[in-house]
Amino acid sequence: MYKYQTRIKLHETDAAGRMFFAEQLKIAHDAWEEFLLQNDFPLRDLCTRYDFSLPIVHVEADYLGELCASDAIDVEISVQKIGTTSFILDYRILRNATEFVGTVRTVHVTIDIKSGKKIPLPNKIKSILKSLSSPRS
């Protein structure tokens, strides 16, 4: 597991002062990007140094509690499944480190940049993902 900490920003809220629903997906992706960076795999390298990509092909989210500007949140990422060409990530969102307020699940597929076809997960990605199975923060 990887834990990402942040706060809800005013610009992430709607006219009612609550977090706009789509922001939950953005926050999950921010956590994913930070996890990759902490594992020496910045997304800029994925865009410039490698011949594969990891697009999200499916996403789902549940909103279990309201979040407002300045609320402190933890986003916990864990790997649900590592397949041959794809992987599934689960995100748990907690307010003030204790109150469970939401979930996100993303399904990523590895594709060859040139052909656009699915390819096996590179060993570097498998190794990074396996680290999500063990406790850490």
Per the confidence metrics, is the pTM higher than 0.85? yes
Distance, in Å, from the CA atom of 130 to the CA atom of 94, rounded to the nearest integer, reads: 23
Query: Is the pLDDT score of 95 beyond 80?
Result: yes
Beta bridge partners of 72: 7
Q: Which domain holds residue 110?
A: 2-133
Going by pLDDT thresholds of 50, 70 and 90, the confidence category of residue 9 is very high
| Mean pLDDT, rounded, for 99-124 | 96
- The enclosing domain of 78 has a CATH number of 3.10.129.10
| Mean pLDDT, rounded, for 3-26 | 93
Give the pLDDT score at 136. 46
Query: Into how many domains does the chain fold?
Result: 1
Q: C-alpha distances in angstroms, 4 versus 31, 95, 115?
A: 6, 12, 34
User: In this predicted model, what pLDDT tens digit does every residue of 31-89 receive, in sequence order?
Assistant: 999 999 999 988 888 878 889 999 999 999 999 999 999 999 999 999 999 999 999 99
